[in-house]
Chain A
Amino acid sequence: MAVRAEPLLVPWYRGRVASWVTTTDHKRIGILYIATSLFFFGAGGILALLMRAQLATPNEKFLTRNSYDEVFTMHGTTMIFLVVVPILAGFGNYLVPLMIGARDVAFPRLNAFSYWMFLLGGIVLYSSWFSTGGAPKAGWTSYVPLSELTSGSGQDLWILSLHILTISSFAGAVNFLATIHNMRTRGMTWMRLPLFVWAIETYSILLVLVLPVLGAGLTLLLLDRQAGTHFFLPDKGGSALLYQHVFWFFGHPEVYIMVLPAMGIVSEVLPVFARKPIFGYAAIAFSTVGIAFFSMLVWAHHMFAVGLPWGLQSFFMISSMAVAIPTGVKIFNWLATIWRGNVSFATPMLFALGFIGVFTIGGLSGIFLAAFPFDWQVTDTYFVVAHLHYVLFGGSMFGIFAGLYYWWPKMFGRVLDERLGKASFWLMLVGFNVAFFPQHMLGLLGMPRRIYTYYHHGYWEAYNLTSTIGSGIMALGVLAFVVNVVVTSRVGRRAGNDPWLADTLEWYTTSPPPPHNFDRVPYVTSARPLRDLRRRLAEERA
């Protein structure tokens, strides 16, 4: 018989769940990354709310000392390693091949491996709540000797989790680099590359440069704890300061790893909703690289209070201030992009504009922290907590929300509800500033970070209570986003290929795109291929 037999059953790997587990499609992996990160964002957010509840009033007994230490350690580790870095990897995964006109990333299976390692790392970290001695409680920085003297398995699981996440991020970064360098479509030269792809390129280079250093530091920490070595133990001849150098050599570039792609998102969103080209494309692209370069030279500004020689403190002050210059270039170029535009306020645009307004404050407070004698006054206080949240929530997370609202229609074919989106934006903007602005004042008033309680009434209590109220408002904003996602998944407006009349290639294909992304990729002649197509169509029609 020559008839080919049709299988009666769909193969198991095409099943609704199994197809996600076995997928090597960059888009599905991107969505997995984003969904998992958002889940951890919820977990980390709940931890933050617990801390704010404990600090709402002096001598509060809401959490015990030990739980408070566990909660702030897990909050920081979660937000950095399980939320911001991987969600940006998720956007990169979803968007980079689409934006450069490729069918997938260079190594699709390695890509799937990266995602599953990320999930595993998260599970290992959260399993520490159930381990002997509970979750790690030495802070997300896990400074030695404290992190070596704490008993229990929590700290070891923290090390293991970060090791796994390091492997995940490293493989992901190599994949991005190979993809961007080798798989750009015809005509997609470097100077026509979307700025988000520039940002992911830089993000990947930074990850490749600094993750091995973190891995080495973690390994030494683990050996000290488990194998009787004493790299970091002063009483046995080790150096406690060495760990800080190693950690921040990774840790400061990590900040830019978390900020640059968010800046890339803003650079994609602003021109579309201002109906103008990005102002100073080359300046923004090169300032991204400039920030990354300087970010490798500033690590010891986290260590101004440890008693470094004056020459070093001066060097790190100047290098840290230097980062402000390319950052300023970006902000001014963004402002110039809105200037004389036709600005409409869809939710992605609101978050992008919010990013500029709020991130500026975080950048400026960074200049205070770079001036090392002043840094001695405010380092390790709530001033730093305010600064880093202005950079990482007001910066990265606002950029990420802009990206979620902007690319949601591409990913799922439906536009998120605008009224809920706007409510979510305003709640987050107001809540964020109410929560974090007063923390600058708390720091100047002498409140150190990482204390489970305080004894002062008056201003300390007033600002702390205000901050707690702000955190509640932020939580409502996030809740509005969740409601939006749930509601829209059923009844949202269909997006079509290009709901925003955007500029970049991902809008050329259907929403959601087919597994192979494009049937045909147009030859790229500028940084705004979709606008070129629209104009050509209009000319043909005329």
Chain B
Amino acid sequence: MRPRHGFVALAVATLALLGAGAAAGSNGGLTPIDPSSPNADRITGIYWFILGFTGFIFLVVEISLILFVVRYRRRGRPSDQEGPQIRGNTRLEYAWTLAPVLILAAIAAFVFYKLPGIKNVPAASAQGARIDVTVEAHRFYWEYRYSNGVVAVDALRAPVGVPVALTLVAPKDDVIHSWWIPAFGGKTDVIPGHTNHTWFQAEKTGTFRGQCAEFCGVQHAAMLASVQVLPAARFRAWLASEQKAQAKGDGRLGAETWAGACAKCHGQQAQGLVGPDLRGNSLLADRNGLETLIRNGRGEMPPVAETWKENQVTALFGYVKRTFAKASSGG
């Protein structure tokens, strides 16, 4: 009898430790990353609900396994001595068929209960009306388009407390990517030829990180995304000033585009990485040549700029000229 108590105590202690660890928060990966959006909150709720049941089943199975193994081990008995020849029990079979049915029905019901709050985008919140952003996934960067025409690359800016509806698309000749900021809920694949939707409503300011979650080729691991959540007023101010700056082919767009669309393969200093070294390359000083190349691609290089408006090409060219002109004239 003693070993049985020992194992039960051990199992209970392990469970308590796990529970305490999990209760301490999302740290350590015992729960999904701290949710910071109502849909992510609800998904984490589903996680806890399922963990309750599966944790219970886990304990039932593992504890009975260990108990039976300890209790019914051979000890001094001859190895050919038979146990009782029990062939089954119909009632037990019904019981352990029906109990899981009920548990799974409960889980499914809970999922359906939470689902509307996860899939439906609120039209507005106390902080303001919903804003819409198109997310266009490319090998290997994210392009964001706000409804006023402002473009951003990899780093999305969003207001706190306001629902942000994302329309997810990819150019038809690209590959499948998957949009995922863990704190803002589940991932949504971005599939050429399909349009998908998701949303978030950031509960606090700060920077939230994620990355492409569908293998998309050689620089999949470098296809990072971030969302910088700003106070609503600051966001609106930024969006308005960025609109003016981008209309002039100015602002941060050039630098962002270089870092997102070019540098992942050619290096931040154009020193070459997956793609060739571009230092001293005459195309960097040839606006038309550069535009033809990036809009059409060449060999292994995808047509990174196929969907850009003219001002994004201008912004990139401006950045390239400012940054690499000195280097190439010196070299």
On A, residues with C-beta under 8 Å from B are 65-66, 69, 138-139, 143, 145-146, 149-151, 234-235, 239-241, 274-277, 279-283, 305-307, 310, 314, 317-318, 321-322, 324-325, 328-329, 331-333, 335-336, 338-345, 353, 356-357, 360-361, 364-365, 367-368, 371-381, 438, 440-446, 448-455, 459, 463, 501
A314 to B215, CA, bound (A): 26
Closest-CB distance, A272 to chain B (whole angstroms): 11
Chain A positions within 8 Å of B101 at CB level: 325
| A331 adjacent to B61 (CB under 8 Å) | yes
Chain B positions within 8 Å of A365 at CB level: 54
Chain A positions within 8 Å of B185 at CB level: 376-377
Q: Flag whether B288 is at the interface (Cβ < 8 A).
A: no
A65 to B81, CA, bound (A): 58
Per-residue CB proximity of B247-279 to A under 8 Å, as 1/0? 000000000000000000000000000100000
| B65 adjacent to A446 (CB under 8 Å) | no
Q: Flag whether B327 is at the interface (Cβ < 8 A).
A: no
Q: Flag whether B218 is at the interface (Cβ < 8 A).
A: yes
Chain A positions within 8 Å of B187 at CB level: 305, 376-377, 379-380
A361 to B82, CA, bound (A): 31
Closest-CB distance, B166 to chain A (whole angstroms): 12
Per-residue CB proximity of B60-80 to A under 8 Å, as 1/0? 011011001100111001011
| A65 adjacent to B219 (CB under 8 Å) | yes
A455 to B115, CA, bound (A): 33
Which chain B residue shows the least CB distance to A374? Answer: B46
- Using known A-B contacts A335-B65, A376-B185, A448-B212, determine if residue A343 contacts B74 with beta carbons closer than 8 Å: yes
Report B102-121 residues with CB < 8 Å from chain A CB.
104, 107-108, 111-112, 114-115, 118-119
Q: Flag whether B23 is at the interface (Cβ < 8 A).
A: no
Q: Flag whether B188 is at the interface (Cβ < 8 A).
A: yes
Per CB-CB distance, the 9 closest pairs between chain A and chain B, nearest first, are A376-B186, A441-B29, A234-B193, A451-B221, A235-B172, A280-B88, A307-B196, A450-B215, A446-B182
- Using known A-B contacts A307-B189, A338-B72, determine if residue A445 contacts B33 with beta carbons closer than 8 Å: yes
| A335 adjacent to B47 (CB under 8 Å) | no
A368 to B77, CA, bound (A): 43
Chain B positions within 8 Å of A449 at CB level: 215
Chain B positions within 8 Å of A329 at CB level: 93, 96-97
Which chain A residue shows the least CB distance to B66? Answer: A357
Closest-CB distance, A375 to chain B (whole angstroms): 7
| B172 adjacent to A307 (CB under 8 Å) | no
A52 to B65, CA, bound (A): 31
Q: Which single member of B107, B115, B182, B191 contacts A306 (CB below 8 Å)?
A: B191
Which chain A residue shows the least CB distance to B79? Answer: A344
Q: Flag whether B286 is at the interface (Cβ < 8 A).
A: no
| B80 adjacent to A275 (CB under 8 Å) | yes
Chain A positions within 8 Å of B111 at CB level: 317, 371-374
A322 to B104, CA, bound (A): 8
Report B83-105 residues with CB < 8 Å from chain A CB.
83-89, 92-93, 96-97, 100-101, 104
Chain A positions within 8 Å of B9 at CB level: none
Q: Flag whether B13 is at the interface (Cβ < 8 A).
A: no
Report B182-208 residues with CB < 8 Å from chain A CB.
182, 185-189, 191-194, 196-197
Q: Which single member of B100, B114, B171, B192 contacts A325 (CB below 8 Å)?
A: B100
- Using known A-B contacts A149-B175, A283-B93, A373-B186, determine if residue A361 contacts B58 with beta carbons closer than 8 Å: yes
Chain A positions within 8 Å of B43 at CB level: 373-374, 376-377
Q: What are 10 A-B interface contacts by the 8 Å CB criterion?
A: A145-B176, A325-B97, A328-B100, A336-B89, A377-B32, A379-B187, A440-B29, A446-B209, A448-B211, A501-B80
| A356 adjacent to B96 (CB under 8 Å) | no
Closest-CB distance, B253 to chain A (whole angstroms): 24
Q: Which single member of A341, A446, A452 contacts B33 (CB below 8 Å)?
A: A446
Closest-CB distance, A449 to chain B (whole angstroms): 8
Chain B positions within 8 Å of A338 at CB level: 65, 68-69, 72
Q: Which single member of B74, B176, B186, B219 contacts A375 (CB below 8 Å)?
A: B186
A145 to B213, CA, bound (A): 16
A539 to B147, CA, bound (A): 89
- Using known A-B contacts A69-B218, A344-B74, A356-B65, determine if residue A444 contacts B30 with beta carbons closer than 8 Å: yes
Which chain A residue shows the least CB distance to B35? Answer: A377
Closest-CB distance, B224 to chain A (whole angstroms): 8
Q: Which single member of A276, A343, A443 contacts B85 (CB below 8 Å)?
A: A276
- Using known A-B contacts A65-B221, A341-B83, A450-B215, determine if residue A321 contacts B191 with beta carbons closer than 8 Å: no
| B81 adjacent to A367 (CB under 8 Å) | no
Chain B positions within 8 Å of A340 at CB level: 72, 83-84, 86
A65 to B79, CA, bound (A): 55
| B61 adjacent to A145 (CB under 8 Å) | no
Q: Flag whether B283 is at the interface (Cβ < 8 A).
A: no
| B175 adjacent to A146 (CB under 8 Å) | yes
| B107 adjacent to A321 (CB under 8 Å) | yes
A351 to B97, CA, bound (A): 26
- Using known A-B contacts A146-B176, A241-B194, A448-B213, determine if residue A310 contacts B79 with beta carbons closer than 8 Å: no
Q: Which single member of B40, B92, B213, B215 contacts A139 (CB below 8 Å)?
A: B215
Chain B positions within 8 Å of A342 at CB level: 72, 74, 77, 79, 81-83
| A463 adjacent to B87 (CB under 8 Å) | no
Closest-CB distance, A91 to chain B (whole angstroms): 24
A-B contact sample (12 more), CB < 8 A, given A329-B93, A336-B88: A69-B215, A145-B175, A279-B87, A305-B187, A306-B189, A306-B194, A336-B92, A341-B68, A373-B119, A374-B111, A377-B32, A446-B211
Closest-CB distance, B68 to chain A (whole angstroms): 4
| A318 adjacent to B108 (CB under 8 Å) | yes
| A380 adjacent to B214 (CB under 8 Å) | yes
Q: Flag whether B138 is at the interface (Cβ < 8 A).
A: no
Q: Flag whether B310 is at the interface (Cβ < 8 A).
A: no
A62 to B114, CA, bound (A): 44
Chain A positions within 8 Å of B65 at CB level: 335, 338, 353, 356-357
| B213 adjacent to A380 (CB under 8 Å) | yes
Chain A positions within 8 Å of B243 at CB level: none
| A374 adjacent to B72 (CB under 8 Å) | no
Chain B positions within 8 Å of A283 at CB level: 88, 93
Q: Flag whether B239 is at the interface (Cβ < 8 A).
A: no
A357 to B60, CA, bound (A): 11
A442 to B62, CA, bound (A): 24
Per-residue CB proximity of B207-246 to A under 8 Å, as 1/0? 0011111111111110010000000000000000000000
Q: Which single member of A143, A235, A277, A281 contacts B176 (CB below 8 Å)?
A: A143
Chain A positions within 8 Å of B96 at CB level: 328-329, 332
| B215 adjacent to A367 (CB under 8 Å) | no
Report B27-43 residues with CB < 8 Å from chain A CB.
27-33, 40, 42-43
| A376 adjacent to B46 (CB under 8 Å) | no
Chain B positions within 8 Å of A281 at CB level: 87-88
| A282 adjacent to B88 (CB under 8 Å) | yes
- Using known A-B contacts A305-B188, A361-B58, determine if residue A343 contacts B72 with beta carbons closer than 8 Å: yes
A331 to B57, CA, bound (A): 11
Which chain B residue shows the least CB distance to A345? Answer: B73
Chain B positions within 8 Å of A375 at CB level: 186
| A377 adjacent to B218 (CB under 8 Å) | no
Chain A positions within 8 Å of B119 at CB level: 310, 373
